[in-house]
Amino acid sequence: MLLFIRLIFVWILEALKKLVPNCFRAKKDVSNDIVLITGGGSGFGRLLALRFAEHGSTVIIWDINEHGLNETKSEIDRKFGTKCFAYLCDVSNRVDVYSKAESVKKDVGNVTILINNAGILQVDNFLSLKDENVERLFKVNILSHFWTCKAFLPSMLNSNSGHIVSIASIGGIVGAPKFSDYCATKAAAISLMESLYSELYFAGKSNINLTTICPVFMRTAMAKTVNSDFVIEPDFAADQTMDAILRNENFVTIPRWQYLSCMLKPILPPKVVVMFMNLLNAQNAFMNYHSSFN
C-alpha cells in the first residue's frame, strides 16, 4: 500500500509538469524517426509534415488527394531536402490501409511515429445529417485509427518503442451543436487512446508513447472571418502539437486553458457548460462553419 501511495505521488508530479513552461522542458530528437501522417496532403497534416521534415525526420504522407500529396512533397524537398514518401491511400478502407502499410514497410521501413490526422466533417442539424455521410465520417475519423494502429503497432511492440498520436478535438470532450457525428468520433478517438495506453502499460510496453491532441476549431477556409476563442490559427496548433509530441505528453488541449473544460464538465450542469460556451462566442464559430457548407 505504501508503494502504491508513493507511485500515485510520483504520477501526480509527472502530471504537474504541464504547469512548467515549455522552455524548461526537454525535447526528444526525432531526426532518425520514420513519421507517417494521414491526411498529409493539405491543411494541418501538411503543417505537421513540414515541421517533422524541419527536424530531419523521414516523412511519409497518406492522402486521397494526389495533387495535395505532390505539393506537400515538393515543399519538403524545396525547403528541407529531407526524405518524403507520398502514398495515395483511402484510410476509410481497411484493405487499402493494410496494403499501403506493407508497401511502406518494404519501401521505407518500420514507422516509429504514427500520426492519425485525417478527418472530415459535415455540419448540420442532427435530423438533417445524411446517413451515408455519417458512415463515411466514422470510417475516416475513427475506424481508420484502428486500421493504422493494427498495421504499425506490432513493430513498436517488438522494440518496445515508438509513438502514436491522435489528432482529436475539444469537441470530443464538450459537444458542439450541429457537429454531433464529428464530436462522437472525436470522443471515440480520445477513449481509444486511453484504452490503448492502459493496455500497453499492463503489457509492460510503457516505452511506447501515446499523445492525444484536442484543439478547438482551427481557422480554415471555412472559418476565415469568425471571431471566437473557439477558433485558433493552424500554425499555432501545429507548433503546440509538435511541442507535445517532442516532449512525449500524453494529453494536450489547444489552447492550454481548455484543460478547464476537461476539469469542470463532469461537475457542472449542462446548462452551465452551454452558457460558458456562449460567453466565449462559440456559437458564432459553429454557425460560421455551418454557413460555409451551404
Lowest mean pLDDT among 59-68, 185-194, 271-280: 271-280
Integer angstrom CA distances of residue 169 from 119, 217, 218: 11, 8, 10
Neighbours of 85 (CB within 10 A): 17
Instruction: Tell the residue number behind the cell numbers 485558433, with chain if given.
Output: 232
Q: Is 182 a catalytic residue?
A: yes
| Strand partners for 166 | 116, 212
CB 64 within 8 A of CB 88: yes
Choosing from 87, 182, 197, 289, which is the catalytic residue?
182
% the chain with pLDDT above 70: 79
The amino acid occupying position 200 is L
Question: pLDDT higher for 251 or 294?
Answer: 251
Neighbours of 96 (CB within 10 A): 17
Neighbours of 163 (CB within 10 A): 22
Does the model's pTM come out above 0.85?
A: yes
Mean pLDDT across the chain: 87
Neighbours of 110 (CB within 10 A): 14
Using the predicted structure, report yes or no on whether residue 292 has a pLDDT greater than 50.
no
Of 124, 138, 136, 121, the residue nearest 185 (C-alpha): 138
Mean of pLDDT values over 225-235? 71
- Name 202's Cβ contacts closer than 8 Å, sequence gap at least 6: none
> What pLDDT does residue 148 have?
98
Instruction: Tell the residue number behind the cell numbers 451543436, with chain if given.
Output: 177
Mean of pLDDT values over 4-18? 54
Q: Rounded distance, CA 154 to CA 135, Å? A: 28
Q: pLDDT by residue (tens digit) across 124-169?
A: 899 999 999 999 999 999 999 999 999 999 999 999 999 999 999 9
| pLDDT tier, 294 (very low <50, low <70, confident <90, very high otherwise) | very low
Please return the burial class of 120, using the count of CB atoms within 10 Å of its CB with bins 0-12, 13-18 and 19+. middle
Domains of the chain: 27-288 (3.40.50.720)
SS (H, E, C) the chain: CHHHHHHHHHHHHHHHHHHCCHHHCCCCCCCCCEEEEECCCCHHHHHHHHHHHHCCCEEEEEECCHHHHHHHHHHHHHHCCCCEEEEECCCCCHHHHHHHHHHHHHHCCCCCEEEECCCCCCCCCHHHCCHHHHHHHHHHHHHHHHHHHHHHHHHHHHHCCEEEEEECCHHHCCCCCCCHHHHHHHHHHHHHHHHHHHHHHHCCCCCEEEEEEEECEECCCCCCCCCCCCEECHHHHHHHHHHHHHCCCCEEEECHHHHHHHHHCCCCCHHHHHHHHHHCCHHHHHHHHHHCCC
Q: Rounded distance, CA 253 to CA 77, Å? A: 31
